[in-house]
Amino acid sequence: SDLKQHFVDCCGLTDSDAHYTTAYDLYLIFNEAFKYPQFREIIEAKAYTADYINGAGESVSRTWKCSNQFITGERDTPEGVTVLGGKTGTTKAAGYCLIIASKDNASEGNFISVVLKSDSRAHLYDNMTNIISKIVK
């Protein structure tokens, strides 16, 4: 295989000798995961609340909020486009990153778009908005 991805653990956090990937690798991973309804349900959620017992035996309720500004409504999508869900990621080495699935409301096809290494959250969403605005026919 000519894939360029390489992870040595499940977190994928920066490791100069071990972890590397490309935008195309992320597309391949996301495209495969997008085939599963449970994955699509997770990436389109605005928040998730879990009730669990912590290590001290105490009942805990915790809510995690979505960081995808298209899903939360903090960022408008271009007219004629629906963002179906996605995944954000940010580290000092990788910068601000986002992969999303979206669709042209006039057609049946879905699109997967990737932006990596943006220098700010604002630039990340500006770049992604520019990309997904091109899918409208």
Per cent of the chain over pLDDT 90 is 70
What are φ and ψ of residue 112, in 5° steps?
A: -115, 130
What pLDDT is recorded for position 1? 42
- Proportion of the chain above pLDDT 70, given as a percent: 85
- Smallest CA-to-CA distance from 114 within 4, 3, 39, 29 is with 29
Burial of 85 (0-12, 13-18, 19+ CB in 10 A): buried
Render pLDDT for 6-62 as a digit per residue (tens, 0 to 9).
566 655 566 666 666 788 888 999 999 999 999 999 999 999 999 999 999 999 999
